[in-house]
Structure 1
Amino acid sequence: MSGNFTRSVLRLLVRLTLKPVLGPSVPVRMQRRLLKAAGIATRVPREVKVTPRMLGAAPGETLQLEGAAAQGAAILFLHGGGYCVGSLDSHRPLSATLAKASGLTVFALDYRLAPEHPYPAALNDAVAAYRTLLDEGHERIFLAGDSAGGGLALATALSLRDAGLPAPPALLLISPWTDLGCSGATMVSHAAHDPMLSQPGLQRWAAAYVGRVPTDHPLCSPLFADLRGLSPILIQSGSDEVLLDDTLRIEKALQQAKVPVTLQVYPGLWHDFHLQAGVMREADEAIGKLAAFAVEILTAAPAPRRRRAV
């Protein structure tokens, strides 16, 4: 499906189904069940094999294109959902399409969710998963994520940097949530345009995740972090989303920190439209650009030499 008609229909469906569900009045556990059911009903590329596995102490899955050659590079994918909802099921079309488009193995992480597990549970799970992949011999591990998963990918990269661990070759971010204080101007100016998210719904999730730490904690809201030394970053966003200002401000902050950053804003599209992968042409094309960016990074930089065991 493609074209303006398909996009209009999908936009309406998102507004009628997701926006009411993701609002502040719906219990988190019900949100999780509804999103899981929606994810199961979506399309996953047949060419991609999905295998459950553990990543550190958290469950996850491996998504690999059938017949793809084994290689040292991989992608660690962190799903969105405001740190409170979302799952492997809800985001499998996105992660599987990324595996198909890039030819790389994608490891999707089912990190712990708030409010049962507030910060730093999700971050600890992400860092542990990255360490596990390093220990398994993956020499170049991209960090990718959408929405809250995009913010978590940034926080993970910061934690890896501060711990002296090997850096990802690049970060692939989709509509990253970078300010849990929800102070961006587009929270208000785009409220009527965004068919998916609302400021009150985001504020409830943020409060559940941060727990006792302030919303501007740099590992909760990377917008306020010292971003120096991070790897190249590709950011994609829709022009109509309330989180657009999070994207624009983090781009400016990265530029000020001398981090190579590329921003792609898609006119007339909404938050995390990539979730419509396999159904909407624009979603597949955007994921294809994320994949091409990763492949270009790998082509430009030779694999690091492994140290011999002493």
Structure 2
Amino acid sequence: MPTTLHELLPAERVGAPASWELLERRAKFAATEIDHTLGVEAGDADFAGIPCRTIRAGDRLTVLYLHGGGYRMGSPEAYNAYAAALAADTEATVVLPRYRLAPENPFPAGLRDALVVYEELAMTTDGPIVVAGDSAGAGMAAAVVVAVDTSDVRAPDGLMLLSPWLDLQCSSPFYETATDAFFPLASAESARDDYLQGAPAGNPLVSPLLADHTGFPATLIQVGGNEALVGDALGLTRALAAANITCTLEVIADQGHTWPLIYPDRGVSIASIESCARFIRSIEVGKAVE
């Protein structure tokens, strides 16, 4: 069994330059404002040489949060407000890696960054660790769990996924029936091709829906009822149930892709964040009684 997570990944490859259109889309991922009445501390730190954003309200547990953006967009600063709400509600520290993006850095570069950050947290953190993410970041979070399960590295205590993109084969029938237009099949296939650049979509480190799930921790999955990724969420829920893993699936009616991030002030978004906080607190309680 590998002693480090690096041994599980293929060699890194030279990627392609980002198009002007993609660079313009990246620029639109603006930083969000932190509500300083929450009493959190925001800063920047390196973990295993990877620059990260940290949002801290306490040290009861650590959340490794991997941002979304199709593996080719997004930034930790865009998650300031969301991470602050999670941290404040749980007295936790949220760590958001600035992982490398495709197409300049195709698979496995971004996942390697996430894994080395997780490995350092696992070695230096005594409290519970929850791995989390949204969209492509949720897929990467699940891939971290897949990698850790085949290594000697300490396993995470929980997994929390929002609108998870878990199957880069993009075979779900929900791509054809979803009413939410935020992440259509054409966008999914374009993002996949930029990320993989010839790597197989059936690799469980790329499509964790296809992995062996017997070693997964307790998991919370949230998905909007209108979005194309309902199929991925249902697939992982079924797989975890078959593996006898504690899993909660929340399908939120009439919501689209990553609704708590796009519409943070809506009651349904606030309720979703509160549910995440309850899940994180349950992981802490469960860890304490072991």
What TM-score, normalized by structure 2, do the two folds share? 0.88
Equivalent position SS for 2:115: helix
Equivalent position SS for 1:217: coil
1:295 partnered with 2:281: yes
1:100 aligned to which of 66, 81, 88:
88
2:206 aligned to which of 186, 201, 220:
220
Distance 1:74 1:263 in 2: 22
Higher mean alpha-carbon deviation, 97-106 vs 276-285, is at 276-285
Distance 1:51 1:147 in 2: 24
1:29 partnered with 2:4: no
1:203 aligned to which of 181, 189, 214:
189
Higher mean alpha-carbon deviation, 174-183 vs 137-146, is at 137-146
Cross-structure match for 1:8: none
Distance 2:239 2:124 in 1: 34
Cross-structure match for 1:307: none
In the TM superposition, what are the counterparts of 1:46-57 in structure 2 within 5 Å? 46=36, 47=38, 48-57=40-49
Kept in 1: contact 2:128–2:287 (CA 8 A): no
Distance 2:270 2:44 in 1: 24
Q: Given the superposition, is the C-alpha separation of residues 303 and 26 from structure 1 closer, same or farther in structure 2, using an over 3 Å criterion?
A: farther
In the TM superposition, what are the counterparts of 1:1-310 in structure 2 within 5 Å? 27-35=21-29, 37=30, 40=31, 42-46=32-36, 47=38, 48-65=40-57, 68=58, 70-71=59-60, 73-190=61-178, 193-276=179-262, 278-302=264-288
Q: Give how far 1:45 is off.
A: 2.1
Q: Give how far 1:146 is off.
A: 0.5
Gaps of 5+ in 2: 1-18
Q: Given the superposition, is the C-alpha separation of residues 163 and 84 from structure 1 closer, same or farther in structure 2, using an over 3 Å criterion?
A: same
* Cα displacement string for residues 176-229 of structure 1 (whole angstroms, at most 9, x for unaligned residues): 100111111110111xx2142211011111011112211121110011111111
Q: Give how far 1:55 is off.
A: 2.1
Kept in 1: contact 2:146–2:204 (CA 8 A): no
Q: Give how far 1:277 is off.
A: 6.2
Distance 1:188 1:79 in 2: 26
Higher mean alpha-carbon deviation, 96-105 vs 129-138, is at 129-138
- Taking only aligned residues, the RMSD between alpha carbons, in angstroms, comes to 1.7
- Which amino acid in the other structure matches residue 31 of structure 1? R
> Percent of counterpart pairs with the same letter?
32
Distance 1:303 1:109 in 2: 30
* Cα displacement string for residues 103-151 of structure 1 (whole angstroms, at most 9, x for unaligned residues): 2111111111111111111111111001122333344211010011111
Distance 2:135 2:126 in 1: 25
Distance 2:50 2:89 in 1: 26
Q: Give how far 1:303 is off.
A: 7.4
Q: Give how far 1:95 is off.
A: 1.6
* Cα displacement string for residues 7-47 of structure 1 (whole angstroms, at most 9, x for unaligned residues): xxxxxxxxxxxxxxxxxx98221111112x3xx2x442212
Runs of 4+ in 1 over 4 A off after TM superposition: none
Distance 2:181 2:68 in 1: 16
- Which amino acid in the other structure matches residue 207 of structure 2? S
- Which amino acid in the other structure matches residue 187 of structure 2? G
Cross-structure match for 1:6: none
Q: Given the superposition, is the C-alpha separation of residues 224 and 76 from structure 1 closer, same or farther in structure 2, using an over 3 Å criterion?
A: same
What TM-score, normalized by structure 1, do the two folds share? 0.83
Distance 1:32 1:229 in 2: 35
Distance 1:298 1:217 in 2: 32
Q: Given the superposition, is the C-alpha separation of residues 203 and 166 from structure 1 closer, same or farther in structure 2, using an over 3 Å criterion?
A: same
- Which amino acid in the other structure matches residue 32 of structure 1? R
Equivalent position SS for 2:223: strand
Task: Give the length in aligned residue pairs.
Answer: 270
Distance 1:244 1:226 in 2: 20
Equivalent position SS for 1:202: helix
Distance 1:259 1:130 in 2: 22
- Which amino acid in the other structure matches residue 28 of structure 1? L
